[in-house]
Structure 1
């Protein structure tokens, strides 16, 4: 639970201090960035700091907890409502709260709520890190003219020059490589279409060919690649294909 940050909002100072004491005792790993009685000050803090969890009272003078959230540009943190009024429960969850705790706060309820929030934060961080990794890999590999191919065993990095064509079927993609080698990927053909360079052409809804491997065009509707691979070309794509060679 490293690097988890939190902000507390409650108009009553005794409630703020009590909640803060419980969090420090039960979750020493959580860094409390601030505890605010005034919602206006909390809004400024939330807009200017990277916050993971907001512990938010609902019934407050001038501005209740729901109104506070509505004034934020973005709610990109987990919200745990803390209130004495159970009738707010349904509305709280409509506001995408991770959990809802009634006052006086029971330690077990607090632990359950915080653990829920932390689990969601961890999943979100892992997902973001994975996306960053894939982005870095794609950028790095594209500079070296290679194609990233996720497979059941891991990730293959195949030079574009070795790829004859890609064939889509049932949501998967077969990558046909020179020397009669075939690699199957869980990516669908549409995903590869977005990743491939301009040397590849989608000649059919189920086929993408490497233009550098094209050796012959047959009038009846086929392109012939190296190793005598015959790939169908749709009527809709025939003109665009021939224009590439004019």
Structure 2
């Protein structure tokens, strides 16, 4: 897969040396921009979002961190190139993949780039899964299966095996007859994919109406596996009206 990179360093020799090393060690990386002027770099980066940004830290007028602060959508891997190791801690505050000290050691550079490429590939997988999930959200709401992306691929869980779907901290836990599946997607993604046999009884809970065994006065639904699920006050009358 061909990836893109942008290099920013106020020293011409350092810029050309880094470009040469990247081209030599990673021919699949296309360098689409090399800049000594940070202001020009900012404009170009905002227009041409790269996969990887190699960014010098200590530059006149604007530092590497100043450059990052002016980027509109820094959704790429960042490798800081610096002669000052004390900048590393602040670099990680920006979620940088790492940093390379000048003069650049070839093995260190290779290691940092390989780590960055792994992250790029993983990000691309997540994007593809996101698109696929959105597609299924549009086409499978009336089907009988829930599609769950995982690290290994996709799980297709029949609706009649799902007892309860629970959202927490941006994640979702799908409770089935035999297992619990944790997904990195939020509960809202799955809500769009479910049939009318499911009911969102609470902002963090969706239940399978066919699996309800009791309703407690305290405001809890009891499912067939004896799990108690809270029902918000505003949803209690609506839930009961379904029966």
Same fold (TM over 0.5): yes
The question of whether the paired residues in 1 share the 8 Å contact of 2:140 and 2:193 is answered with no
The question of whether the paired residues in 2 share the 8 Å contact of 1:166 and 1:209 is answered with no
The question of whether the paired residues in 2 share the 8 Å contact of 1:150 and 1:185 is answered with no
The question of whether the paired residues in 1 share the 8 Å contact of 2:165 and 2:206 is answered with yes
Gaps spanning 5+ residues in structure 2: where? 167-172, 220-234
Deviation at 1:94, TM superposition (A): 2.4
- Cα distance in 2 for partners of 1:80, 1:114 equals 8
Equivalent residue, structure 1, for 2:208? 208
Q: Which moved more, 1:199-208 or 1:59-68?
A: 199-208
Deviation at 1:208, TM superposition (A): 2.6
3-state DSSP of counterpart to 1:119: helix
Equivalent residue, structure 2, for 1:240? 238
Equivalent residue, structure 1, for 2:175? 173
3-state DSSP of counterpart to 2:140: helix
Of 181, 188, 199 in structure 2, the residue corresponding to residue 186 of structure 1 is: 181
Distance change (3 Å), C-alpha of 1:27 and 1:14 = same
Question: Is 2:118 the partner of 1:114?
Answer: no
Deviation at 1:12, TM superposition (A): 1.3
- Cα distance in 1 for partners of 2:56, 2:91 equals 11
- Cα distance in 2 for partners of 1:89, 1:146 equals 51
Equivalent residue, structure 2, for 1:135? 134
Q: Which moved more, 1:95-104 or 1:53-62?
A: 95-104
- Cα distance in 2 for partners of 1:70, 1:185 equals 41
Instruction: Report Cα offsets for 1:166-208 as digits up to 9, x if no partner.
Output: 5349965346xxxxxxx766369x9565643345446898953
TM-score (norm 2): 0.72
How many residues in Structure 1 have an aligned counterpart in Structure 2?
213
Gaps spanning 5+ residues in structure 1: where? 176-182, 211-228
Equivalent residue, structure 1, for 2:122? 123
Distance change (3 Å), C-alpha of 1:201 and 1:122 = closer
Deviation at 1:209, TM superposition (A): 1.6
- Cα distance in 1 for partners of 2:149, 2:53 equals 40
- Cα distance in 2 for partners of 1:40, 1:107 equals 29
Distance change (3 Å), C-alpha of 1:201 and 1:172 = closer
- Cα distance in 1 for partners of 2:216, 2:128 equals 40
Equivalent residue, structure 1, for 2:194? 196
The question of whether the paired residues in 2 share the 8 Å contact of 1:54 and 1:80 is answered with yes
Q: Aligned Cα RMSD in Å?
A: 3.5
The question of whether the paired residues in 1 share the 8 Å contact of 2:4 and 2:51 is answered with yes
1:138-177 residue pairs with structure 2 within 5 A? 138-142=137-141, 144-148=142-146, 155-156=155-156, 158=158, 163=160, 166-168=162-164, 172-174=174-176
Deviation at 1:56, TM superposition (A): 0.8
| Larger Cα-atom Rg | 1
Instruction: Report Cα offsets for 1:48-69 as digits up to 9, x if no partner.
Output: 1120111111111111111111
The question of whether the paired residues in 1 share the 8 Å contact of 2:7 and 2:15 is answered with yes
- Cα distance in 2 for partners of 1:108, 1:45 equals 29
Distance change (3 Å), C-alpha of 1:138 and 1:38 = same
